Amino acid sequence: MAFLKVGSKAPDFGVPDQDGNIVKLTDFKGKKVVLYFYPKDATPTCTTEACNLRDNYKVLQRAGYEVLGVSTDTAKSHQKFIAKEKLPFSLLADTERKMHDAYGTWIEKSMYGRSYMGTARVTFVIDEKGIIQEVIEKVESKIHASQILGEVQSPPKKTSNTKPKPVKKTAKKVAKKTVKKVGKKAASKK
């Protein structure tokens, strides 16, 4: 199944958060929602992504966004992750993968030549009317908030790794060349 596309109506959901409260997309009517899917609590890349969103949470809120993380982890796992990383937003426990199926984020993956099913790291930015405004498929965990806010600039072009060779001229060599040039000029004037 493919991810939902920009312009699609975001499917509503009713999934428990870390405290067991049922969260619905309709709870956020009139607000923009960042719905980010991630594979697993407390893993290195997922932690980097969550912490980047945590560190930029106030900026995202000022821009009108509410952040919701989604994984197949349990509410208890989410509670530990939130407490450890001091996350200010809710994490949804989609243990039955209903949201994953609705958004197309339960995909076949491959690691070390072995195929398995898992969560795609993808973010849906949903506007105030419940329409998918943006789909970020290539999430860069360290700068994810900037991706959401549209502040990501293209990376600088890679330059050649070869360094220019330093000019090795000693004072004597420079002086000899100068003397030769001066000597030639003087000889041509005669």
SS3 152: coil
What's the CA gap between 122 and 26, in Å, rounded? 21
Q: Assign domain 14-149 to a CATH class.
A: alpha beta
pLDDT in tens, 43-92: 999 999 999 999 999 999 999 999 999 999 999 999 999 999 999 999 99
- What pLDDT score was predicted for residue 171? 45
In terms of average pLDDT, the best of 22-26, 115-119, 163-167 is: 22-26
Record the tokens describing residue 106, joined without a space: 């339960």
CB count in 10 Å sphere of residue 137: 9
What's the CA gap between 126 and 136, in Å, rounded? 11
51 a catalytic residue: no
* pLDDT bracket for residue 3 (50, 70, 90): confident
Average pLDDT, the chain: 85
In contact, 62 and 31? CB cutoff 8 Å: no
Catalytic entry in 23, 46, 67, 132: 46
The residues facing 107 across adjacent strands are: 118
* pTM, two decimal places: 0.77
What is the radius of gyration, based on Cα positions, of the chain? 28
78-111 core/surface letters (b: 16 or more CB in 10 A; e: else): bbebbeeeebebbbbbbeeeebbebbbbbeeeee
What's the CA gap between 37 and 41, in Å, rounded? 11
Least confident of 93-102, 103-112, 124-133, 137-146: 103-112
- What pLDDT score was predicted for residue 96? 96
Record the tokens describing residue 76, joined without a space: 């208890």
The residues facing 69 across adjacent strands are: 36, 91
CB count in 10 Å sphere of residue 121: 20
Domain locations in the chain?
14-149
User: CA-based diameter of the chain, in Å?
Assistant: 101
- What pLDDT score was predicted for residue 87? 98
In this prediction, residues 139-160 reach a mean pLDDT of 72
- What pLDDT score was predicted for residue 77? 97
